Amino acid sequence: MTQATGAKSKVLMGFQSDIGTLAMDGVFIGINSSGLKGARNQHTPATIRGNLNPSEPFDGNKSVSGSIVVPVDSLQFWYLLKAAFGDPVTTGSESLWDHTFKAGNDRPYLTFEHQFLDLTSPKYFQYSGCRINGFSFSAGDDGELTASFDVVGSDRIIASNSFDPDAVASSFARLKNNQLSLKEGGSDIGNAKLVDVSINFNCDTSQYVIKGGGVLGNIPDGVMGVSGNLNAIFADTSLLDKAVNSTQSSIEMTFDGGVSSKLAVKLPELKYAPNDPGIDGPQGIAIALPFNAYYENSVDTTSVVVTLTNNEEHA
């Protein structure tokens, strides 16, 4: 019996011109997992017919949602960051380019395609009208550096052919946790253990329209949320003092894989919430401080800046 396997499946992504038009061109992305799925509501009528049997259910609206987990790198990640933030500002020349992504740009609609190629008749699950609803990552530990992208979308069809049969895989240059350096409040910090960042675009998935076939007519962006946690060795109260006094600070993470392979994530303005360290046993004590980033008056004019350095212009 033929059974599809994850090892032989592929994920193709492409940028759409609008919510209702399937992408024409795509690129294969390497993933750790994809939970992207299509769904359709099914409702039970309240019709009374003189007996106790339920009436035939009827179909409701369609939806697409799920998370895609990808390894963090300096080449493939460009496509995910463009999907999340829109077009970057690119500077550089020859084989060294900086791509700077900021909040507030127009964001594209996407097509994701799950390719199940080891079936007797290969099938292509095409998820269209998608947007990145948020993404998150945790940095500083001993494991693989990954990011999770939360996707919402409007429709799913099962096709017998790919939307781009000539697609090729993106180039890839892995970044690692042990390449991370961290600045807090503009200065290097030597006692940080972990830092988590979560960016939420708060997409509105309620915009179903009459005669729209049960699919979303639009997925507008909401006000962003940028939050996270900083976990550090408890060596003094300097970080806790910032939280207690509601002092503005900043965080800047840089993953340095070489001159042409870097990722920098900057939160120019943030405030910590107080969270006292506990005494959980005889081991070393750490302090974990939640934070919320925002934009008020920073020179970066945004709540988050992501700069990807690589050797591809993407013009």
- Expressed as residue numbers, the domain containing 144 is 6-43+56-310
Give the pTM: 0.95
Report the chain's mean pLDDT, rounded to a whole number. Answer: 96
pLDDT-derived band at 315 (thresholds 50, 70, 90) equals: low
pLDDT, tens digit (0-9, with 9 covering 90-100), for 138-168: 999 899 999 999 999 999 999 999 999 999 9
Is 48 among the domain residues? no
Q: Tell me, what's the pLDDT at 105?
A: 82
Is 315 among the domain residues? no
How many structural domains are present in the chain? 1
pLDDT, tens digit (0-9, with 9 covering 90-100), for 7-52: 999 999 999 999 999 999 999 999 999 999 999 999 999 999 999 9
Is 302 among the domain residues? yes
Mean pLDDT of 88-102: 96
C-alpha–C-alpha distance, residues 213 and 43, integer Å: 16
Nearest Cα to Cα of residue 63 among 213, 200, 201? 213
| Whole-number Cα distances in Å, 49 to 44, 53, 58 | 14, 8, 16
Is 39 among the domain residues? yes
